[in-house]
């Protein structure tokens, strides 16, 4: 019986991964630790609230900045997957303190505990992000693309990414660094663009587009991210430890085309767009070169954009009670690139 510790397991991707492991590995003990910030909720977990401590699943309401707690939980684990982070780019422009605390120092504390128990740990998967690259300097961004983080969120995640690598190089921890491109799917917070557009259509609102809407991202469905992390966790260590893997589709979509796909899918003809100023530190384009994970582990994403988006739309249509309470958090006041104070 293996024990897997999942940090940030009550958030969007962490909870999808927790539910995935719960369903696909009945022989595993799962420990989730999550500080339940505004972005996390126990409603995302695979068990009901009154079952949060059962035989194979335990939930710890706690902070990755708590070294003693991390020591206790990691001392009982065979594998660690570290998702916990402050994750919203715009919020990091508004107030970045928590980003550097959780994303950098929190990762240091998790990595210190990993170091202490490295002899019993099989794997430590650190979830980084494609944001560490900044705007694409070539058609497809491979793992060797320069690191040019453009927002405080990206800089904090970049610090964490290199911190984990340095611990691998210096202390020989069994670390693997994963850089997912933009994830989408059910249970993503309304502050992120796809849920914001979908719920705006449901509510009959205008869709708020940053700049001219031509900035472009590479989207991967969260189910594919879960499958990829599973493949990394269970691969022979000589194939993955000390490595960095991109996770993406290899295609980019502009934010405007994304809005059009969503309104088209939801048969909404009367939504209009309001254009607000561009986000300072905007990444203009991200397109993954995800050939390394395909070459090393045979992994390719399975969920097609049209199918993944349609499933995501259905989920938001059917789960209004889950997202209604987040409506007030969709807008954040920031000073835009042109110096104007705007809600983003």
Ligand X SMILES: NC(=O)c1ccc[n+]([C@@H]2O[C@H](COP(=O)([O-])OP(=O)(O)OC[C@H]3O[C@@H](n4cnc5c(N)ncnc54)[C@H](O)[C@@H]3O)[C@@H](O)[C@H]2O)c1
Please, which residue, 46 or 268, has the CB nearer to ligand X? 46
CB of 338 to ligand X, least distance (A): 26
Residue 193 CB, nearest approach to ligand X (Å):
10
Q: Nearest 5°: CA angle at 232, between 294 and 285? A: 55
Cβ at position 118, least distance to ligand X in Å: 21
Q: In terms of CB distance, is 13 or 303 closer to ligand X? A: 13
Minimum CB separation of residue 219 from ligand X in Å reads: 8
Question: Nearest distance from residue 35's CB to ligand X, in Å?
Answer: 4
117 vs 184 by CB, closer to ligand X: 184
Strand-by-strand arrangement of the 244-247 sheet: 57-61, 29-34, 3-7, 79-82, 123-127, 175-180, 244-247
Binding site for ligand X (CB under 6 A): 7-8, 10-14, 34-37, 39-40, 63-65, 83-87, 102, 106, 127, 129, 157, 180, 182-183, 189
Beta carbon nearer to ligand X, 82 or 208: 82
Give the nearest distance from C-beta 105 to ligand X in angstroms: 9
By beta-carbon proximity to ligand X, the closer residue of 3 and 66 is: 66
Residue with Cβ nearer ligand X (285 or 335): 285
Is 37 or 58 the residue whose CB approaches ligand X more closely? 37
Q: Closest approach of Cβ 10 to ligand X, in Å?
A: 4
Q: Which residue is nearest to ligand X (CB)?
A: 11
């Amino acid at each position: 019986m293996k024990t897997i510790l999942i940090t940030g397991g009550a958030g969007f991707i962490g909870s999808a991964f927790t539910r995935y492991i719960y369903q696909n590995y009945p022989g595993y003990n799962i420990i989730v630790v999550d500080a339940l910030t505004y972005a996390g909720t126990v409603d995302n977990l695979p068990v009901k609230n009154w079952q949060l401590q059962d035989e194979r699943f335990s939930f710890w309401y706690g902070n990755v900045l708590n070294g003693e707690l991390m020591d206790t939980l990691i001392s009982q684990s065979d594998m660690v997957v570290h998702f916990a982070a402050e994750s919203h780019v715009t919020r990091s422009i508004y107030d970045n303190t928590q980003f550097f605390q959780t994303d950098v120092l929190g990762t240091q504390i998790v990595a210190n505990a990993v170091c202490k128990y490295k002899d019993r740990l099989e794997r430590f998967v650190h979830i980084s992000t494609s944001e560490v690259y900044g705007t694409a300097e070539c058609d497809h961004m491979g793992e060797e693309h320069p690191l040019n983080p453009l927002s405080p969120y990206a800089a904090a995640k970049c610090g964490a990414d290199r911190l984990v690598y340095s611990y691998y190089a210096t202390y020989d921890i069994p670390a693997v660094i994963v850089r997912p491109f933009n994830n989408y799917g059910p249970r993503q917070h309304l502050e992120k663009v796809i849920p914001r557009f979908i719920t705006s259509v449901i509510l009959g609102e205008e869709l708020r587009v940053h700049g001219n809407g031509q900035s472009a991202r590479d989207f991967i469905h969260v189910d594919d991210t879960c499958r990829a992390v599973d493949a990394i966790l269970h691969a022979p260590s000589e194939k993955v430890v000390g490595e960095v893997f991109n996770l993406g589709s290899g295609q980019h979509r502009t934010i405007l085309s994304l809005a059009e796909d969503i309104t088209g899918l939801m048969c909404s003809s009367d939504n209009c767009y309001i254009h607000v100023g561009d986000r300072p530190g905007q990444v203009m384009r991200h397109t993954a070169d995800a050939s390394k994970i395909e070459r090393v582990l045979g992994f390719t994403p399975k969920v097609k954009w049209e199918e993944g988006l349609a499933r995501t739309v259905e989920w938001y249509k059917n789960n209004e009670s889950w997202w209604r309470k987040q409506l007030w958090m969709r807008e954040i006041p920031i000073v835009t690139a042109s110096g104007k104070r705007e809600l983003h």
